[in-house]
A and B are shown apart, each in its own frame.
Chain A
Amino acid sequence: MLCRVADSLFWMSRYIERAECTVRLVDVTLQTLLEPEQSYEDIDYKHWQPILLSLGDESIFTEKYEERNSQNVTYFLTFDRENPSSVFSCIANARENARMIRDQISSEMWETINTLYLFLKKQNANAVCREIRFDFFKKIKESSILFQGITDSTFPHQIGYYFIICGRYIERAEKTCRIIESKQHMTDQIVEKADAIDTAQWAAILKANSAFEAYHRVFVSDIEESSVLQFLILSKNLPRSLFFCIQKLQYAMHMISGCRLDQYSNEAERLTGMLLSKLNYGSPSDLTYEGEDSLLAEIVSNLESIAVELSERYMFFPIVDPAAEPESQTQEQSTVTAIS
């Protein structure tokens, strides 16, 4: 497989997952804001700020928008083309990557992405944000899931497929970390740490990960920080838990290299194996999420290194993630030759 193709498959998949995660966050935050006692404007932004902070986008937002209200944040995170990690930017980037390799992917995969892109383009962005159209968020989430299903059932499960899997789970793991991290910013915001608010915040985090119902099936108790963390980080079967994602990632990487699961053949595999062991054999007291030396911070930095190593091993292209480096948005544009 061409290195460039591997690169595009990986990023196509990552961008779609990223769009879905952003939608999940926006969706669940908007739902939380519906709680009556919290629905006046000045407190709204306090709910958004943790999300902007954990996504690393807050500075771009505050620079661009004078009015820090719910509608503007929603617009910023969904339709704003100048925000490199907005849903629109992610889908446009996913489509651009898919277009580069459309001869390699199934036509169903291409059409799913293209249709989603066209759907986004024809939306009345202001109306969606002003009227809070939940069906819009649902549609994006469903399209992402549709794309995963179509990939699973129309794309040969060979090397290219596993690059898609790698992209999906690296991104998902990273976003699960971010969502958990957003809790510490929430805590920062509210001086009086009322138990009810705390519970509501953890519940929102569970919902953002489609884990609320599953949580209650496992933990009959109330929502508590320690058990939520345990669930979102260590669960062996929750599809958005860190352990689950990293295990899928490890498997996909070994399918690419052909190396046995209990050994490793490159740096990316070694790092992933270590990370997985740490989660597998760690104890609940290790599960910290606040501060630079927390477990979560370590996982995020490990995921970054794994992506870099993966890219160096297989794709030969330096990682250019516009969302990670908002300043260097200049995408390489080839000179265009007119051909009649």
Chain B
Amino acid sequence: MSEDFLVVKNVSKSFAGIQALKKVNLVIRRGEVRCLVGENGSGKSTLIKIIAGVEAPDEGEIIIGGKSFRRLYPIDAIREGIQIIYQDFSLFPNLTAAENLAFNYLLQKKQRSVNWKDVQKIAREAMKNIDVTIDLNRRVEELPVADKQLVAISRALLHNARLIIMDEPTTALTRKEVRSLFQVITKLQREGISVLFVSHKLDEILEISERVTILRNGQNVADGDRSEFDRNKLIFHMTGREIEETRYQYVPRHSSETPLLRVDGLSRQGSFANVSFCVYPGEIVGITGLLGSGRTELAMALFGLKPATRGEIYLNGKHIHIRNVQDAIRHGIGYVPEDRLTEGLFLPQSIGNNMVASVIARLKKKMGIIDPQKRDHHIERWIKTLKIVTPSPTLPVRSLSGGNQQRVVLAKWLTTNPKVLILNGPTVGVDIGSKTDIHHIIRNLAQEGIGAVIISDDIPEIIQNCNRILLMRRGRIVEEFSGDQITEEELARKMIGGDGSEPVSSEMAFV
């Protein structure tokens, strides 16, 4: 038996003339944790699809367990023990965890009837494989994300998986949950199961992988042991350029300046309490904390999505009330939401329409008809300023990459000329190149006099871009740091709760 479980040899694939993969090679050994790294559009997902048999390669060879396949079908891949855990887990939210575990299994067995005792038995055995316990009789939609992922992993194991491909598995997980996922991966590894970990989160890659394969523009650019890489090397290979990680320098203009935004004793029942802070023009203030610490709720309150129930908000020293989104927009507060897909964009609509969506009222001529010239001028200007890569603003937003989509969301709010911009997880799901660009945009805006508030748990992002950092825990601001005062490690430790021993469940209990 060879040591290599999967060998992808010189695989190429093109879609409609565009070369997605060029003679790509990938070797995964038995029981190895391999990271597949690359920016969006680097060919990662095409490669996964080819390994899963969903797409057929134009040329090249795939060897699984010594068997060579020119054309691999999904059923072959499954039979050879390849299982994919998609980003959305592909679970049935309306069915119980137990049924989710057993469903695909019974389907493969071509069962026609369902014996519920068997379902329970299959499910229990599946969970035993990874040594975790979750309530099997709860519906998956009621489970926390981490548990959903565990269900998806155990389901994969039911099919005698030899290789589990995890596509961006940590996107929706808290740090604690990432830890336990890594434990599960280590356990799988001990049992001789290989894991292909697809990600662009550098810290995680460096932590979990044994070996790393980096793709850029559909080609292998680096391959080797983890020990050969560090953050900067990874970034260099992924982006093809040296990206310096600099810190934002805030220069106060006048010491007597009134704060752009002042929040005093802001509270909302069950979400956050007694939050006070200021933002001066040109400042980028970071608010960080674990999921459930109240940071997202605070952002939503400032934008009127879930208004605060107590406390004062002052803009330029003037007391204002924010009871709904319209109030916030009127006072010049912009909001870039966490989940741009459902909150920030109208995906099927054109890029241009999305950009002007929040200023339609200002583009109206008499009779309420939109002035097309004014509109196009607007759109052109922001596409240029934000370097949005698209052949035409008439294409649907859906057609853009994550980074470009996020820029459209930014444009949508920048058209309103906001005084304060609240960015909730501005680079979630955005690749490194775009991430840096978006950070530059935010810095430029701040230098022009906007007050920016970044809400994020991406520690490097917060430290590099914010001149002041507020740490939230259990709905309160517990500490404040200056951006160049604190290291990533320190902040990470403080986020989890001082000494890091505090259980996550107590965070939950608060909300």
Whether chain B is bound by chain A comes out as no
